[in-house]
Amino acid sequence: MSPKRTRLAVLFGGRSTEHAISCVSAGSILAAVDRDRYDVVAVGITAEGRWVLAPDDPALLALSGRELPSVKDGQAVALPGDPTAGGLFPLEDGPALLGQVDVVFPVLHGPYGEDGTLQGLFELAGVPYVGSGVLASAAAMDKSVARVLLAAAGIAVTPAVTVRAARWAADRDGVVDDVRALGLPVFVKPARGGSSIGISKVRDLADLPAALEEALRCDPKVLVEAMVVGREVECGILEDADGRPQASVPAEVRVVGDHDFYDFEAKYLDAATELDVPADLPQEVTERLQAVARTAYDALDCEGLARVDFFVGPDGELTVNEVNTMPGFTPTSMFPRMWAASGVDYPELVDRLVQAALRRGTGLR
């Protein structure tokens, strides 16, 4: 008799502005997962927050030109916050159990997915899940909080000012003065966003109000960062079988064409980036960058995986830009590409992440 396959729920979509990228990431994972080892159920979360059973078809979640995929409505399901419940339940057809869930791969980016809220539900439900726990997910998602923890660990971070919606409404002159002290240009971004959505580059203080308003549409908390001169280099972290963080080869992102920075269109729609995997760095800089990436992972109490984004200065100085606890898994995403260059192909990467989640289980860690 063949052993029972582990039931893996791939969860994607969600209420954040990164809904479409989550769908694309999930399609790549569904295509790569080993069906001989895992019984897969695809669960989508609509933009309104409704959980539904989704087709297990990677083609439906792929980018098509500039058309972005999304979760369509379907049979509504729920994961009760009850460890004795056993798995997913339908919402309309009575209390019949749809199936045990052994582990969840929550391929969600941004608020209501990557920020500790969903991780808290998994802990309540007693279901193991891929990625960091509640604290690390929440801290890394909030860039203004993450930079405090990173700095406390001795890691260089970008000079920045945090602006909340209430302060912007009450003290615009004070905010402008604080930003002026950073020097121009600056980047204005939602404090708890991703995929470069809502980000503006500001060269003139006259353009600051419009940039802040754009970011505030995504998040009532905004980070204004001084521009750091340097190359954009990323490093992937993956937990090994003993729970220790291992660093991938680093990779460099170079924006080409008409894009002024690494924005959403450059990342996903316009093929306006060139990627060097591995990055062309001196060995000493590479080793130092990998060490700092592991330190950043530990400083935020991450688990399973992370992607640490750096600016590498002209003399090899390292500044951490941000830490992503659930990086993109699209066909062009840096995290799987860095690990492929490090000897871990996509199917093995998915398997290692799921197995790490099963080893950790849930509860206090």
Tell me the pLDDT tens digit for each residue of 222-244: 999 999 999 999 999 999 999 99
Q: For CATH 3.30.1490.20, list the domain ranges present in the chain.
A: 160-226
Residues across the chain? 365
Query: What mean pLDDT do residues 322-330 have?
Result: 93
**% of residues, the chain, pLDDT over 70:** 91
Q: Is the pLDDT of residue 2 over 70?
A: no
Predicted pLDDT of residue 194: 63
Q: Is the pLDDT of residue 44 over 90?
A: yes
Q: For CATH 3.30.470.20, list the domain ranges present in the chain.
A: 140-156+229-360
Query: What mean pLDDT do residues 334-351 have?
Result: 96
Q: Give the separation between CA 129 and CA 361, rounded to whole angstroms.
A: 8
Predicted pLDDT of residue 265: 53
Q: For CATH 3.40.50.20, list the domain ranges present in the chain.
A: 6-129
**% of residues, the chain, pLDDT over 90:** 79
Q: Which CATH number fits domain 140-156+229-360: 3.90.1150.10, 3.30.470.20, 3.40.50.150, 3.60.9.10?
A: 3.30.470.20
Q: Which residues, at least 6 apart from 288, have a Cβ–Cβ distance to it below 8 Å?
A: 316, 318
Predicted pLDDT of residue 62: 87
Grade residue 16 by pLDDT with cuts at 50, 70 and 90.
confident
Predicted pLDDT of residue 51: 96
Q: At the top level of CATH, which class does the domain 160-226 belong to?
A: alpha beta
The pLDDT tens digits of the residues spanning 80-137 come to 988 888 789 888 765 556 678 999 999 999 889 999 999 999 999 999 999 999 999 9
Question: Chain-wide mean pLDDT for the chain?
Answer: 91
Q: Is the pLDDT of residue 50 over 80?
A: yes
Predicted pLDDT of residue 259: 46
Check residues 269 and 304 and name the one with the higher pLDDT: 304
- Name the amino acid, one letter, at 163: V
Grade residue 1 by pLDDT with cuts at 50, 70 and 90.
very low
CA angle in degrees (0–180, nearest 5) for 201-290-144: 40
Check residues 252 and 3 and name the one with the higher pLDDT: 252
Predicted pLDDT of residue 274: 84
Tokens of 114: 């990557």
Q: Enter the pTM of the model.
A: 0.91
- φ/ψ of residue 145, rounded to 5: -80, -45
Residue-by-residue DSSP string for 313-345: -TTS-EEEEEEESS---STT-HHHHHHHHTT--
3-state helix, strand, coil in the chain (%, to 5): 35, 25, 40
Tokens of 219: 């998040």
Lowest mean pLDDT among 178-187, 251-260, 319-328: 251-260
Q: Is the pLDDT of residue 17 over 90?
A: no
Contact between 281 and 233 under an 8 Å Cβ cutoff? The reply is yes
Burial profile 52-69: b = 16 or more Cβ within 10 angstroms, e = fewer? bbbeeebeebbbeeeeeb
Grade residue 261 by pLDDT with cuts at 50, 70 and 90.
low
Kindly report the CATH number that applies to the domain delimited by 6-129. 3.40.50.20
Q: Containing H/E element for 275?
A: strand 273-276
Query: What mean pLDDT do residues 344-361 have?
Result: 96
